[in-house]
Amino acid sequence: MMNWWLRYRDWLHTRWPAGRVEKLPVVGEDGETHVSGLRIVGDLGGAPLLKFASDTGARAVRAILRQPRFPPAQGKDPDCFDLAIIGGGVSGVSAAIEAVRCGLRYVLFESSEPFSTVVNFPRGKPIFTYPTDMTPAGGLQYPERANAKEPLLEELRWQLDESEIEVLSGKVEKVERRRGEFLVRRAGEAAPPVRALRVIVAIGRSGSFRKLGVPGEDLDKVTNRLHDPRDFQGQDVLVVGGGDSALETASGLACCGARVTLSYRGPEFSRPKPENIERVRALEADPETKVCLESPSSERVGSTADSGMRGDAPPGFLRVEFGSEVECIEPETARLRFSGGREPQSLPNDAVFVMTGREPPLDFLRKSGLRIRGDRTRWWWLSLIVVLALFTFIYHWKGNAPVLPVRKWFAANQWFSFNLRDWLAGFGGPWTDPAQFLGA
């Protein structure tokens, strides 16, 4: 039976309204993959929320310990770790804490710094630790409701230090399974690979940012990250996307005095958290709404105390354009096209934030021999050819097609179904009378 986060993953990534299946690794319960001994947890496994991601990391370690004859009681190789964890985000750190609790020899790889996803959130970003009534498995825990990025990051780092988790810096290029163990190969290093009996991959969506594929996307004003919304006070900004990141970016910028247009191709928001949708609607209805005063990301323009902003700056606003897509980006404007017959519109523009997410790290996954949902493998092509050949044969067998006279061949040689009448005649009686049910 699938557990709760598998159901959440399937809803989020395989049945969402975009009409396509996201390319993600094929992951089963407790992070299992078709590569025996290798598990995938966290956002890459389809559990993007912090509590869900932490929970999957700890549960993956517990599932490994339930396997028979693990860890081996005798004959341990001192140069081979029990567990290699790739990725130092919340799911990877949670797995490492659980490994320490269970007495496993582990190694934790991180290419940048622990909790780098949280570190790269915008300054003061509100972070919702959903579900509020859930306690994740393992030792990494969260306050009931974190109001901003900074105190949450401080709390996570404190727990990392308290658990005495060691982090090995380095980017892993691929994982190979060989003779009952794994070889973890790091990029650009001549050192021998790290050996481990089991591997947990917790690298998240560390692939490249998704592109719009429109002219002007390579301009300097186009970016995928917002560090401090106060830098865009008084500017015309376009935010593209319909997820939590896009809505949080748009509302943060509007609260700091930017004139924001939020472009989303769908007819309505369906995926973001309710709080983010309510905040955007409130800002769209009233730029001076109190949600900005309550927002941890900034203070409203005009309340200059401790904000470092100009008190004479014009107030910001937020406008949502549903059913719109970016047509092109120019140095001083951005052009939107609309569904439903609306005329394209050029907007004054100083900055564009493309908040449409990242592509999964497919290169790493494929090098490591992992199956990707939606990939067209050689077996996919072989089955397609077989099915097409079968239906082509049936089509020509049923009718007198001039291209392949299959029906004529079968009739001339008295093959099925032309020999059926003679074969049934041997049964006699109702089998030979078309007026009878069996004969018909």
Span 234-276, pLDDT tens digits: 999 999 999 988 999 999 999 889 999 999 999 999 888 888 8
DSSP string covering 189-226: --SPPEEEEEEEE---S-SPBPP---TTTTSTTEES--
Long-range contact list for 220-224, CB < 8 A, 24+ apart?
221/329, 221/331, 221/349, 221/350, 221/351, 221/352, 222/329, 222/351, 222/352, 222/354, 223/351, 223/352, 223/353, 223/354, 224/353, 224/354, 224/355
Tell whether the model's pLDDT for residue 315 goes beyond 70.
Answer: no
Rounded to the nearest 10 degrees, what angle do helices 50-65 and 4-14 cross at?
Answer: 130
The closest alpha carbon to 201, from 404, 13, 438, 27, belongs to: 27
The pLDDT score that the predictor gives to residue 296 is 45
At 127, the pLDDT band (50, 70, 90 cuts) reads: confident
Instruction: State the angle between helix axes of 244-255 and 274-285 in degrees (0 to 180), rounded to the nearest 10.
Output: 40
At 324-350, the pLDDT tens digits run 999 999 999 999 999 988 899 999 999
- Rounded Cα distance between 184 and 196, Å, is 8
Q: What percent of the chain stands above pLDDT 90? A: 48
The more confident residue out of 217 and 125 is: 217
Stronger pLDDT, 351 or 227, i.e. the higher one: 351
Q: Is residue 125 pLDDT above 60, yes or no?
A: yes
What is the maximum span of the chain, computed from C-alpha positions, in angstroms?
Answer: 102
pLDDT recorded at residue 227: 85
Helix (H) or strand (E) holding 40: strand 38-40
Which of the 8 DSSP states describes residue 172? E
Alpha carbon distance 130, 340 (integer Å): 36
- Coil, strand, or helix at residue 400? coil
Judged against a pLDDT cut of 90, whether residue 302 lies above it is answered with no
Residue 14 has pLDDT above 80, yes or no: no
pLDDT score, position 114: 93
Nearest C-alpha neighbor of 110 from the set 137, 129, 91, 82: 91
**Which residues are registered as beta bridge partners of 176?**
183
Give the mean model confidence (pLDDT) for residues 114-142. Answer: 83
Distance CA 71, CA 64 (A): 9
Per-residue confidence band for 145, with pLDDT thresholds at 50, 70 and 90: low
**HSE on the CB side for 325, CA within 13 Å?**
10
Alpha helices by DSSP H, 38-114: 50-65, 90-101
Reported as a single tens digit per residue, the pLDDT across 396-433 is 888 776 778 888 888 888 888 888 777 877 777 777 77
Chain centroid to CA 48: how far? 7
Q: Which residue has the tokens 């140095």?
A: 331
How far apart are the C-alpha atoms of 309 and 298, rounded to whole Å?
A: 10
DSSP, res 176: E
Range with lowest mean pLDDT among 2-6, 295-299, 313-317, 357-361 = 295-299
Query: 80 is written with which tokens?
Result: 């081979």
| CA–CA distance, 190 with 264 (Å, rounded to integer) | 46
Preceding peptide of 417 cis, ω within 30°:
yes
DSSP-derived 3-state class of residue 239: strand
Q: Quick check: helix, strand or coil at residue 324? A: strand
Is pLDDT above 60 for 17? Answer: no
Q: Does residue 306 surpass a pLDDT of 90?
A: no
More confident residue, 429 or 390: 390
| Residue range 2-9: mean pLDDT, rounded | 56
Q: Report the distance separating Cα 353 and Cα 241, nearest Å.
A: 9
Alpha-carbon distance 5 to 3, whole Å? Answer: 6
> Residue 168 belongs to what H/E stretch?
strand 168-169
- CA dist 156 and 363 (Å) reads 30
Q: Is residue 96 predicted with pLDDT exceeding 80? A: yes
Q: Specify the higher pLDDT residue, 225 or 293.
A: 225
Q: Are 164 and 54 in contact (CB under 8 A)?
A: no
Q: What's the pTM?
A: 0.69
Q: What is the mean pLDDT of residues 65-77?
A: 82
Is residue 12 very low, low, confident or very high in pLDDT (cuts 50, 70, 90)? Answer: low
Residue 51 has pLDDT above 50, yes or no: yes
What the block records as the tokens of 376 is 């067209």
Residue 25, strand partner residues: 372
Find tokens 């390579």 and name the residue.
218
